[in-house]
Amino acid sequence: MPDHIHWLLSTTEKHELSQIIRMVKARVSRHQEQTIWQPGFHDHALRSEQALKPTARYIIANPVRAGLVTSVRDYPFWNAAWL
């Protein structure tokens, strides 16, 4: 998506979600040599394994719903291990 990002990830005992987001934002900002992120983030926790596949499909279909492509296969920035 041109103005936001959707991630589907699992955390570990080593890092909490807020730490992961902070590290990713810092690394991208250093690479871009500027801050491109808004403060904060919105998260949504999946409570069951059954919600995983429908959520992954929802995220992957976002570019189609936004009218950026006609097929998810045409969107170069998608990848999902859960499909």
Kindly report whether the global pTM for this prediction surpasses the value 0.85. no
- Position 25 scores a pLDDT of 93
Non-local CB neighbours of 56 within 8 Å, separated by 6+ positions = 8, 80, 82, 83
> How many angstroms separate the CA atoms of 53 and 51, rounded?
6
Q: What is the pLDDT of residue 36?
A: 86
pLDDT mean by block of 10 residues, the chain; 83 residues: 80 88 93 90 88 89 92 82 67
Q: Which two tokens stand for residue 33?
A: 């040599």
